[in-house]
């Protein structure tokens, strides 16, 4: 079976790696379904008013600081941010699919450049919206998303450098880490919904300052990154315990992501389009 890194394992180790490959594929399909829903929401809710200059329509949905009359710089940053959000959410999925990398390397290269540009612009623009425009509800949340921006900038630089130097094994590792942290904003929404479904919203504060909010402020990037790291290590070390444990974790994560994505569509995205 083809694994996410696009390699075909020999017959004996293929049997051993079957579960890891299968659950990695399942987890990826769950991520893809969730990110496609997020992309559809951005395209349907943000693109029409942003491209026609009707910025005030952003505020039809609850936001911390969306359109503010007279704040041209802030509104333009927000416009660029939501336009690029759809590109990175869809483009990331295209980058990870091995069949596309193998069959159309030029698509992988050009989409990769676009992905990196969007990652830099979203991270730097997001930092400005947070600290320059003052779009935050509490310090912990602001520091959590700042950590995500710094991880995006660092991993983007490492993935780019490794690709330029043609160190493709390194490039793949940094790119998977980048994909994990660049998905944090989406993962935070899915995480809130999955947690809400499971617990009825325990630990979520009115100003997003409850224990769960504080946990998710950092877990939104660190959990996907940890999972990506386990996947990379399980593939490298090849012990049955590591592979089976990681396979189980990826399978459970896939189920949580499916439930959270369905919830996000029903509560956070679908009602506004």
Non-local CB neighbours of 181 within 8 Å, separated by 6+ positions: 148, 151, 152, 155, 221, 224, 225
Instruction: Give the one residue of 30, 93, 149, 178 binding ligand HEM; rule: CB under 6 A.
Output: 149
Q: How far apart are CA 219 and CA 205, in angstroms?
A: 17
Instruction: Record the tokens describing residue 216, joined without a space.
Output: 């998710």
Q: How far apart are CA 236 and CA 248, in angstroms?
A: 17
Minimum distance from residue 3 beta carbon to ligand HEM (Å) = 26
C-beta closer to ligand HEM: residue 30 or 180: 180
Stretch of 19-27, 99-107, 140-148, 199-207 lying at the interface with ligand HEM (CB under 6 A): 140-148
C-beta closer to ligand HEM: residue 108 or 189: 189
Instruction: Give the one residue of 34, 111, 148, 257 binding ligand HEM; rule: CB under 6 A.
Output: 148
Q: 41-70: which residues touch ligand HEM (CB under 6 A)?
A: 42, 63-66
Minimum distance from residue 201 beta carbon to ligand HEM (Å) = 18
Closest CA to 85 of 159, 183, 158, 154: 183
C-beta closer to ligand HEM: residue 145 or 217: 145
Half-sphere exposure of 161 (CA within 13 A, CB side): 7
CB 110 within 8 A of CB 130: no
Where does residue 117 rank: exposed (0-12), middle (13-18), buried (19+ CB within 10 A)?
middle
Enter the DSSP assignment of 267. I
159 binds ligand HEM (CB under 6 A): no
Minimum distance from residue 223 beta carbon to ligand HEM (Å) = 16
Stretch of 17-25, 47-55, 143-151, 202-210 lying at the interface with ligand HEM (CB under 6 A): 143-151
Non-local CB neighbours of 55 within 8 Å, separated by 6+ positions: 49, 67, 75, 78, 79
Q: How far apart are CA 176 and CA 229, in angstroms?
A: 9
Which residue has its beta carbon closest to ligand HEM? Answer: 126
Q: How many residues bind ligand HEM (CB under 6 A)?
A: 25
Q: 71-130: which residues touch ligand HEM (CB under 6 A)?
A: 81-82, 85, 88-89, 119, 122-123, 126-127, 129-130
C-beta closer to ligand HEM: residue 66 or 235: 66
Enter the DSSP assignment of 69. T
Where does residue 156 rank: exposed (0-12), middle (13-18), buried (19+ CB within 10 A)?
buried
Instruction: Give the one residue of 175, 185, 247, 257 binding ligand HEM; rule: CB under 6 A.
Output: 185
Please report, as ranges, the residues that interact with ligand HEM according to CB under 6 A: 42, 63-66, 81-82, 85, 88-89, 119, 122-123, 126-127, 129-130, 135, 145-146, 148-149, 152, 182, 185
């Amino acid at each position: 079976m083809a694994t996410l890194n696009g390699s075909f394992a020999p017959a004996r180790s293929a049997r051993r790696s079957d579960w890891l490959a299968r659950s990695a594929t399942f987890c990826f399909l769950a991520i893809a379904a969730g990110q496609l829903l997020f992309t559809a929401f951005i395209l349907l809710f943000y693109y029409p008013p942003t491209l026609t200059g009707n910025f005030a329509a952003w505020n039809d949905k609850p936001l911390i600081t969306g359109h503010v009359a007279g704040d041209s710089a802030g509104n333009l940053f927000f416009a660029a941010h939501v336009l690029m959000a759809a590109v990175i959410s869809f483009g990331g999925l295209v980058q990870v699919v091995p069949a596309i990398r193998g069959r159309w390397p030029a698509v992988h290269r050009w989409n990769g450049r676009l992905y990196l540009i969007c990652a830099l612009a979203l991270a730097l623009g997001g930092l400005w919206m947070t600290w320059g425009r003052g779009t935050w509800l509490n310090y912990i949340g602001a520091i959590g998303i700042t950590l995500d921006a710094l991880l995006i900038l660092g991993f983007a630089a490492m993935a780019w450098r490794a690709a330029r130097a043609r160190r493709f094994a390194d490039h793949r590792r940094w790119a998977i880490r980048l994909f994990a942290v660049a998905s944090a904003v989406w993962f935070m929404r899915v995480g809130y919904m999955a947690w809400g479904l499971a617990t009825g919203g325990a630990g979520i504060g009115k100003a997003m300052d409850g224990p769960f909010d504080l946990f998710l402020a950092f877990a939104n990037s660190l959990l996907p990154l940890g999972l990506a790291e386990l996947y990379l290590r399980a593939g490298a070390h090849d012990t049955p315990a590591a592979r089976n444990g990681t396979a189980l974790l990826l399978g459970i994560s896939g189920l949580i992501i499916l439930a959270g994505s369905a919830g996000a569509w029903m509560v956070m995205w679908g009602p506004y389009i």
